Amino acid sequence: IAFSHRVKLDRIAHGAELGPDARRHDADFVCRHTEELESRVRARTAELDQSNRKLAELVQALEQAAITDSLTGLLNRRGRLA
């Protein structure tokens, strides 16, 4: 959070006595700030979901490689014992 935003949020959180216009402005600021943070969280969550899908695919490929012979594609000893 930018320093100016942090100062403003701190002032709002501590309930500084303000007139109705300032309170309305502060409410708008908090709404915009909340929307921005929610948007950033959604974007980061989408990135993490994509990374987790790729990781799951790689784990599955490694598990398959661990139980099959790379030349023949048949189960190796580990695959037959599992």
Q: Which among 76, 74, 56, 81 has a CA at the least distance from the CA of 66?
A: 76
pLDDT tens digit sequence for 20-31: 777 777 788 888
pLDDT above 90 covers a percentage of the chain that reads 49
Q: Global pTM?
A: 0.61
Task: Cite the DSSP H helix spans in 1-82.
Answer: 3-13, 20-67, 77-81
Which has more confidence, 5 or 71? 71
Is the confidence at residue 64, as pLDDT, over 80? yes
Q: CB neighbours of 1 closer than 8 A, spacing ≥ 6?
A: 9
Instruction: Compute the chain's Rg from CA coordinates.
Output: 27
Which tokens in the block code for residue 51?
Answer: 């990374």
Q: How many CB atoms lie within 10 A of CB 10?
A: 10
